[in-house]
Amino acid sequence: MDVFEAVKKDIRRRMVGAVDVLHQEFGGLRTGRAATSLLEPIKVQAYGSEMPMNQVGTINVPDPRLLTVHVWDMGLVKAVEKAILESGLGINPSSDGQLVHVPIPALTEDRRQELVKVAHKYAEDARVAVRNVRRHAMDDLKHAEQNNEISQDEHRRYTNEVQDLTDEHIAGIDEALANKEQEIIQG
C-alpha cells in the first residue's frame, strides 16, 4: 500500500471530524421547531459532576413546539430546569413532578437573523479547521520532498489529492450551512 494512503486516510478522518463538530453545533441551534438535539448538549450538575441531559432523563418531542424531559431521579428535576435556563437558548422550562416541560417559542425575525449569523460563524470555524488540516498535510508533503522521501511528481499528485479532499469537505460545510440557514429562516 502506498504510504500516502495511510496519510490520506488520517487527513480524511480529521476533516470529517471538523464537519461532525459543525453538525453537532448546528443541532444546538434553535429553529423554532422542537428537536431533542436542542437539549442533548446541555450539561446538568448531577451527582457531583456535569452530565449530558440525556444521561439524567429521557428527552421527547410530544409536539412541534414542546420538548419534555422525563427526569429519572426526582432530586435532579431542579438541576435540569436550572441547566436549561442557563443554557442561553432563551427557553423557560416548567416541571410537573418528574416531567420537565420545555415550550419552544416561535422565533422573532431578529432572533432568526442572529441564529443565521451564529450558523455562519460555526461554518467558518469548520472551514478553518479543514484548512488547518490541509496546511499541515501540505507542510508534511513539502518536508517529505525536501528529505527525498517522495519525488516532485508524487508531491504534486499528493498535493492535488489533499486539495480535492479539502474542496470536498468545504463543499459539504457550505451545503450544511445552506440547509441550516433555510431551516432557521423557515422555522
The pLDDT tens digits of the residues spanning 132-173 come to 999 999 999 998 889 988 899 999 999 999 999 999 999 999
DSSP letter for 130, please.
Answer: H
- Has residue 88 got a pLDDT over 80? no
- Has residue 31 got a pLDDT over 70? no
- Could you tell me the residue ranges of all domains in the chain? 3-27+108-186, 36-103
d(CA 60, CA 32): 16
- Has residue 11 got a pLDDT over 80? yes
- CATH topology for 36-103? Gyrase A; domain 2 (3.30.1360)
Question: For residues 44 and 110, which has the higher predicted lDDT (pLDDT)?
Answer: 44
The H or E element spanning position 76 is none
Q: How many CB atoms lie within 10 A of CB 39?
A: 27
Q: What is the pLDDT of residue 134?
A: 96
- pLDDT bin (cut points 50, 70, 90) of residue 1 is very low
- Has residue 2 got a pLDDT over 70? no
- 150 touches 144 (CB < 8 A): yes
Q: How many CB atoms lie within 10 A of CB 165?
A: 20
d(CA 165, CA 156): 14
Mean pLDDT, the chain, as a whole number? 88
Query: Architecture of domain 3-27+108-186 in CATH?
Result: Orthogonal Bundle (1.10)
Task: Tell me, yes or no, if the two domains 3-27+108-186 and 36-103 fold the same way.
Answer: no
Q: What is the pLDDT of residue 187?
A: 63
d(CA 25, CA 23): 5
DSSP letter for 49, please.
Answer: E
Average pLDDT rounded to a whole number, residues 78-82: 93
The H or E element spanning position 89 is none
Extract the C-alpha cell encoding 75: 432530586
pLDDT tens digits, one per residue of 104-139:
877 788 878 888 888 999 999 999 999 999 999 999
Q: Are strands 66-71 and 94-96 parallel, antiparallel or unpaired?
A: unpaired
Least confident of 28-42, 72-86, 111-125, 144-158: 28-42
- Has residue 30 got a pLDDT over 70? no
